[in-house]
Chain A
Amino acid sequence: LKNGVGAFIPQCRRLVFHYCERSGSSRGMIEYLKKDLIRFAKEHPHLEVIVTPRPSKHPVIRGLYLNGKDKVICVRNMEPRDIAGKVDLLKESAGNRMKVFKKPVISTTESVRGIWSPFHSTPHKI
């Protein structure tokens, strides 16, 4: 039911890497694809990793999640180290929109001790 209670299912399903063979903005991306990508793909066997050339466009990483949404990050002119950081960002997210977390605990269970009622607490003494 709830992810993590019984079994944990990683939310990122697929990572698609687009690069251009000719353009200069893909230089770091091509280096990352040659050096680090295979090791990353082996460490995460649950992820489907797709690499396709996309000529005359900036390099892009696209993450697809279990709720059907996707996140796209353009990695033009980035070094392989920075691209690895962006890949980690996509891998560890869950497809939801970025939002401000206002409360420290998100809960759907009812309160354990019940909601206070003046009729069910110790009577007021004068």
Chain B
Amino acid sequence: IAASTPRLFSTTFSASEAVLTSSTTSPVSATPTPPSSSASSSLVNLLRNQLRYYAVAEIKNRPYLITKNDIIVLDRLKDVKLGDVIELNQIKELGSKDYTIKGQPYISPEYYSIKATVIEQPKGKIIETFKKKRRKHFQRRYQIKPLHTLLRVCELEVKAQ
């Protein structure tokens, strides 16, 4: 598997510190603590000790809420082949059951590692849009056959700090 870092997904996050909030679901709610730069690594480790994670990844300026083994359905990416592994580095939110990290606007890539493989580039079914204005002799039929790229999220990990 060739690990490629394509130009499309170059990171443009700001240098400011990501905000870590704790959102527990128990009746005794924990108060959210804004992190100082020395405490942020311990807070990320809190997240890391949980069992499962999700991430809100931004691909081509669109958000996708993903967990591991998911399939992302995208519009066709032109410069990508079957089997290519893409590293996602525009991540807006990274979370687990009790804790989330929210990026401003993106999270620093030293906290996570998220990769997706291109598994298929199919054609979708014909989508037909029918427009009619009655009594005006206006009707149109638009047909689109969309092209897709399917990505499988093969890795979604929070790195140890």
Binding site for B on A (CB under 8 A): 2-8, 10-11, 89, 91-94, 96, 98-101, 103-109, 112-114, 120-123
Contacts and interface: CB of A to CB of B under 8 A. Distances in A.
Nearest to B1: A8
Contact of A112 (B53, B62, B83): B53
B124 A105 contact: no
Contact of B121 (A2, A92, A106): A92
A112 B120 contact: no
Contacts of B119: 3-4, 8, 11, 94
Given A5-B117, A93-B122, A104-B64, 6 more contacts: A4-B117, A11-B119, A104-B74, A107-B66, A109-B69, A113-B54
A106 B27 contact: no
Nearest to B149: A92
Interface of B: 1, 25-27, 29, 52-54, 62, 64-74, 82-83, 95-97, 116-125, 127, 146, 148, 151-152, 154
17 contacts: A2-B152, A8-B119, A92-B82, A92-B121, A93-B121, A98-B124, A99-B125, A100-B125, A101-B124, A104-B64, A105-B71, A105-B73, A106-B71, A107-B66, A112-B54, A113-B54, A122-B29
B52 A112 contact: yes
Contacts of A120: 25-27
Given A4-B154, A8-B119, A98-B123, A109 B67 contact: yes
Contacts of B29: 122
A96 B122 contact: yes
Nearest to B24: A122
Contact of A98 (B26, B95, B117, B125): B125
Contact of B83 (A10, A96, A99): A10
Nearest to B25: A120
B64 A105 contact: yes
B152 A5 contact: yes
